[in-house]
Amino acid sequence: MTDARHALIIANDRYADQGLTKLRAPAEDAAALAEVLHDPQIGDFEVQVLHNASADLMRRRIQGFFNDRRRDDTLVLHFSCHGLKSESGELYFAAGDTEPRLLDATAIPAQFVRACMSRTRAGRTVLFLDCCYGGAFSRGSSAVRASGEVNVLDSFRKDKPAGGRGWAVITASNSMEYAFEGDELTENSVPRPSVFTHAVVQGLGTGEADLDGDGEISLDDLYDYVYEHVQEQNPHQTPSKTVEMQGELHLAHSRRGYIKIVAVPSPLSLQAALDSDNVLTRLGAVLELRNRLHDESLPVAEGARQTLEEVARNDIRQIAGEACRALREIRLAPSADRLDFGQVPKGSAPQAKSVTLHGPPLARHCVAQPTQSWLRVDPTENGLKVCVDTAAEGGLSGDIVLRGVAHEALIHVEAVVGPAHEPTPPAGAGSAPSSGPTPRQQESERPPSEPQPAIIEPSHGPPPVSGPPTSPPPKATTASGRPTTVPPAGTRRAPAFAAAALAFAGTAAITLVLAVRAAVAAVVDRGEEGVYGNVEDNIAEHGALTPLTVSLITAVVALVLAGFARHDLRVRPERYERRAATGTRTLTSLAKALAIPALILAALAGIAYLVGSPYW
Cβ neighbors of 440 (< 8 A, separation 6 or more) are 347, 348, 349
CATH code 3.40.250.10 for 5-253: no
What per-residue confidence (pLDDT) applies to 330?
87
pLDDT tens-digit map of 202-253: 889 888 888 876 678 899 999 999 999 888 888 878 888 888 887 788 888 8
pLDDT band at 524; cut points 50, 70, 90 = confident
Residue 457 has pLDDT above 80, yes or no: no
Relative to beta strand 5-11, strand 454-456 is unpaired
Is it the case that residue 328 has pLDDT exceeding 60?
A: yes
Name the range with the highest mean pLDDT among 10-14, 184-188, 515-519, 542-546: 10-14
For the chain, the domains span: 5-253, 268-328, 334-419+445-456, 490-615
Q: What is the pLDDT of residues 390-424, one digit of tens each?
A: 887 788 898 998 888 877 889 999 999 888 665 54
Stated pTM of the model: 0.48
Q: Whole-angstrom Cα distance, residue 325 to residue 289?
A: 12
Residue 272 CB coordination number (10 Å): 11
Give the rounded percent of residues in the chain with a pLDDT score beyond 70: 75
Q: Can you tell me whether residue 426 is helix, strand or coil?
A: coil
Average pLDDT rounded to a whole number, residues 433-461: 53
Distance of CA 331 to the CA centre of its chain: 12
| DSSP β-bridge partners for residue 447 | none
Band (pLDDT 50/70/90 cuts) for residue 261 is confident
The angle formed by the CA atoms of residues 272, 275 and 276, to the nearest 5 degrees, is: 90
- Average pLDDT, whole number, for the chain? 78
Question: Where would I find the beta strands (DSSP E) of 300-370?
Answer: 333-334, 338-345, 351-358, 366-370
**Distances in Å between the alpha carbon of 477 and those of 112, 267, 481, 520?**
68, 22, 6, 54
Lowest mean pLDDT among 34-38, 89-93, 115-119, 524-528: 524-528
Alpha-carbon distances of 604 from 40, 347, 610, rounded to whole Å: 72, 70, 10
Q: At 8, which helix (H) or strand (E)?
A: strand 5-11
What gap in Å lies between CA 616 and CA 609, rounded to an integer?
10
Tell me the CATH architecture of domain 334-419+445-456: Sandwich (2.60)
Contact 83, 185 (CB under 8 A): no
